Amino acid sequence: MKKILLAAIAAIALGGVANAEAVKIGIDTSPYPPFASPDPDGNWSGWEIDIIHAVCKAAELECVITPTAWDGIIPSLTGGQIDAIMASMSITEERKKVIDFSDKYYNTPTSLLVPKGSDLKPTPDALKGKAISAQVSTIQEAYIKAHFPDSDLKTYQTVDEGFQDVAAGRVDASLADSIAIDGFLATDAGKACCENAGPVADDPTILGAGVGVGLRKGDPLKEKFNAAIKKIREDGTYDAITKKYFSSSIYGG
């Protein structure tokens, strides 16, 4: 009886370890090259995917990448469907009212995609009366509302939809992260139609302080992620991953 009891206890203990829930890392369901893109089998790759794996390894966490619709990704975090967001989400004061963030893990400017030969610039006067696209629920959407009030804002579920409408002439320009714009301009479609008109004037209140890991308020995972980001920055892992995708650092100042 004693042996049976001890065996049962051991099985329960082992089962508790084996069934411990992995940390669910929420990413956007939409492709966002070169940060995150799925193959036909649904396997994700890209700079941010590699960083997720590196951070989780450094933090000694078992992580599961969990694609989640962008416009519901914060509610999914606060509601417990995911445990962290690593989906190029900028650290802003508005978002910090609802969730916590880790230290930043990259920071790139917001720029304007325009048709080739266009004289449009990322200024209120140049964009007055023009149709500008942005992905819904992003800092770019908020920036257009605040700084280009006389423009016609068009929102899309994905960044690429906005880029395609610039290429097709359905909108005059698209506001997006500079890396996403450069990625589109590297494609045949992008080369044929468009160019980068340059970055917008900085507004830290809207554009934030770089991209961080989104976490529930008070979650102790924040300390683990901060330590892991610092570790991969110091041991060369971060730079090694970045060199696979970019010609220069995207960590920012």
Q: What is the pLDDT of residues 194-203, one digit of tens each?
A: 999 999 999 9
Is the pTM here over 0.85, yes or no? no
Q: What CATH code is assigned to 19-107+209-245? A: 3.40.190.10
Q: Which residue has the higher pLDDT, 42 or 2?
A: 42
6 pLDDT above the threshold of 50: no
pLDDT (tens digit per residue) in 86-96 = 999 999 999 99
Q: What is the pLDDT of residue 21?
A: 82
Evaluate whether 85 touches 46 at the Cβ level (below 8 Å).
no
Query: What digits encode the pLDDT tens for the residues 10-57?
Result: 433 333 333 358 999 999 999 999 999 999 999 999 999 999 999 999
Fold classification of 110-207 is D-Maltodextrin-Binding Protein; domain 2 (3.40.190)
Tell whether omega for the bond before 34 is within 30 degrees of 0, i.e. cis.
yes
Domain with CATH 3.40.190.10 in the chain: 19-107+209-245, 110-207
User: Per-residue pLDDT for 253 more than 70?
Assistant: no
